[in-house]
Structure 1
Amino acid sequence: TSVDLTKTWREDENWSTRLHVDSLYLRGRHGSLRWSAGRQPYGFGNIVLYSPLDIIAPFSPDAIDTEYRPGVDALRIDFATHRGDLLSYVTVWDDDESLNSYLATGSFNFTGIDLLLIAGQLRDREMSGIGLAGGFGGLGIKGEMSWYQGKDVNTAGGDLHDEFAIAASELWYRFDNDLMLLIEYLYNGAGTEDPSHYLQAANSATISEGLNSLLGKNYLLFAPSIEIHPLLSLSLLGIWNLDDDSYLVRPQLSISLGENLALDVSHTLNRGSKPQKGILPGLTTPRSEFGMYGDSAALYLRWYF
């Protein structure tokens, strides 16, 4: 964000209080033209688990809360055509002016198939992308790909590659018993296939800027979910690194506690080869992505008012 709308009291004390304004913008409309300016949520792409077209403040694939998207400082202009297509332009401002983003997007529908296009400059990278979404019977089919010109390659904190692409295909199906299943193959061209280079990937620009959160290149993601009771639903998230055979599994139970109150209970399991100890104390070499992390549990309480 380019404007500091955060205030902290008693910073670095035993307890502190923070106020953060996450959404504050003006919007207007004139005929088919709509505009909004200020801190606002912005998302793009149709794939649910990990969308290569969701490039402005995207969610991590293992994020627990994806219901509310954090705001970014942006100017957005939308134009709706007579046939229902949407043409858009967005400028996103950053603290560092050189990392501002300027993007044009288009959303179209042709005989039941959604087409998404995006192109422009993302934080000093030239980029473009395309997405398709449709269905065959009860099977939902989506595919997306984005391409980037790398920046600051071969320098500390830069991209790993001169050029890279991120692509994914996702299948969606709801069974007769209301079990819903999402399966996605992801190619992460911003990462690396060599586990010994994971630390370098973790310090790359795509990770620090939030564009990417995975270190490897080839992944299989799956997410079944089912409503056990009107007040109780069960879901599972799996992320499998196909290059080093490590994986993350997270079962999650969602409980409705009242009309405006809900509780999510989850347990994340990370499995894979543990890092190899180096010659010097405290130095290790990664041998798998998810083997570097420990397990965790979370309680997430949501109150709507």
Structure 2
Amino acid sequence: LRCQSGNWEYILGRQAVTFGGMSVNPTDVFSPVSFKALDQEFRPGVDALRIIGGLGETAEIEAGFLTGKNADSAKNGAYLRSHFLLGTTDLTPILAGFQKNKLLGLTLQTEYGQLGFVFDGAVIIQRKSAQQTSAEMPDKWTAWTLGLNLQWNENLFTMLDFHHNPMGTTKPSEYLTNAASVIYQEYPQSLLGQDYLLPSLVYQLSPLWSLSSSVISNINDGSFINTSQLEWSITEDSLLSGSFILASGKQSALSAEKQSEFGDSPNSFQLVFNHYR
């Protein structure tokens, strides 16, 4: 359900509530995309009420309330964010609460000629009742992604992101035990290490053919996973795409202890035909 009154828009119902525009977005706390699955056209939705208001030509404010899974009030979420321009810099601060945890984040985008600069970062404060038994476990993390993008010409666009995940660990032997911690269950983080390099490209081979490829590289253990896709626009209403995932890294000798993050991931291929009516 959507309605508009003046500069204000109200959206009620199941919808995708996503933030940021990078490979990994620490501020995207409600509807993140899985990193290991082939990307899909549709995003998961949540039951939410969103209110968006325009504050002039270059600024807006947005507030939202999201219900928890199975109407569980303990898993409700809410956020307040604004979006405005400061010169040529695009700024989007956000304050959010999810499962009684707190997030304070900022997305920044600017450019110099053909070179773009993007930053997405968040401070995550874990609820007091979720403290671990170990005194060494922190209750506050600062996750961030720093990226550069370049439009080489009308056909080639590239991105290079660096992501720091303070909730992860640099030791592969601790991946599984660390991922069982409370913050991993409540904050939508699926990466297990701490430091990542994420290059990607999109190349328009012709008006009907396009190629895209992206890599998630775990700097700590040397493993990586590559997702590449070739698309063919058969007609205005039909699209054929072939995608594959190629993983590399040390494989685990025991299922209870990983040797690398992506070494055990299987290689896969997917062929999809889409027809729009």
Q: TM-score normalised to the size of structure 1?
A: 0.82
Gaps of 5+ in 2: none
User: 1-side partners of 2:30 and 2:94: how far apart?
Assistant: 12
- Distance, in Å, in 2 between the alignment partners of 1:192 and 1:204 is 12
CA shift in 2, pair 1:258/1:209, >3 Å: farther
* 1:200 Cα deviation after fit: 2.3
Distance 1:236 1:29 in 2: 39
1:290 to 240, 262, 277: 262
The separation in 1 between residues aligned to 2:29 and 2:119, in whole angstroms, is 15
Q: What SS is found at the alignment partner of 2:174?
A: helix
2:12 is matched with which residue?
37
Indicate whether 1:248 and 2:225 are aligned. Answer: yes
Q: Which residue of 1 aligns with 2:174?
A: 197
**For residue 181 of structure 1, what is the aligned residue in structure 2?**
158
Report the residue type matching 1:154 in the other structure.
Q
Q: Does 1:150 align with 2:94?
A: no
Q: Which of 211, 220, 227 is residue 234 of structure 1 equivalent to?
A: 211
Would you say the 8 A contact 1:50–1:60 is kept in 2? no
Query: What does the per-residue CA deviation read over 1:85-141, in whole Å, with 9 as the maximum and x for residues that have no partner?
Result: 111110010122111001100101111110011113122211110111010111011
Q: Which runs of 4+ in 1 moved over 6 A?
A: none
Conserved? CA contact 2:176–2:256, under 8 Å: no
Which whole-Å CA distance do the structure 1 matches of 2:35 and 2:263 have between them? Answer: 17
Contact kept in structure 1, 2:78 and 2:96, CA below 8 Å: yes
1:1-305 equivalent positions in 2, closer than 5 A: 26-45=1-20, 47-94=21-68, 95=70, 96-151=72-127, 152-154=130-132, 161-176=138-153, 178-205=155-182, 207-208=184-185, 211-277=188-254, 283-305=255-277
Give, in angstroms, the shift of residue 63 of structure 1. 4.6
Supply the distance in 1 between the matched residues of 2:170 and 2:2 (Cα, whole angstroms).
45
C-alpha distance in 2, partners of 1:205/1:251? 33
What is the distance in 2 between the residues matched to 1:253 and 1:107? 34
Gaps (5+ residues) in structure 1?
Answer: 1-25, 278-282
- TM-superposed CA distance for 1:43, in Å, is 1.7
Task: Verify the 8 A CA contact 2:90 2:108 in the aligned structure 1.
Answer: yes
Higher RCO structure (Cα 8 Å, ≥6 apart): 2
**TM-aligned CA deviation for residue 217 of structure 1:** 0.9
Please tell me the residue identity of whatever aligns with 2:270. A
Range 105-114 or range 29-38, more displaced: 29-38
1: CA distance, partners of 2:233 / 2:274:
10
3-state DSSP class of the match of 1:229?
coil
Deviation, structure 1 residue 83: 3.8
Report the AA paired with residue 61 of structure 2.
L
CA contact (8 A) 1:62 1:237 kept: no
Q: Which amino acid aligns with 2:132?
A: N
- How many residues are matched? 270
Task: Please report how far the alpha carbon of residue 154 of structure 1 lies from its aligned counterpart in structure 2 after TM superposition.
Answer: 2.5
1:288: Cα distance to partner?
A: 0.7
How far, CA to CA, are the matches of 1:251 and 1:52 in structure 2? 24
CA contact (8 A) 2:38 2:245 kept: no
The 8 Å contact of residues 156 and 201 in structure 2, kept in 1 or not, is answered as: yes
Match of 1:301, as an amino acid? F
Q: Could you say what the CA RMSD is over the residues aligned between the two structures, in angstroms?
A: 1.9
Residue 256 of structure 1 deviates from its aligned partner by 1.5
Of residues 233-242 and 168-177 in structure 1, the stretch that sits farther from structure 2 once superposed is 168-177
Deviates more, 1:193-202 or 1:179-188: 193-202
Q: Name the SS of the counterpart of 1:53 in structure 2.
A: coil
Superposed CA deviations along residues 141-197 of structure 1, whole A, max 9, x for unmatched, are 101101111242427xxxx74111220011111113622111100011222222112
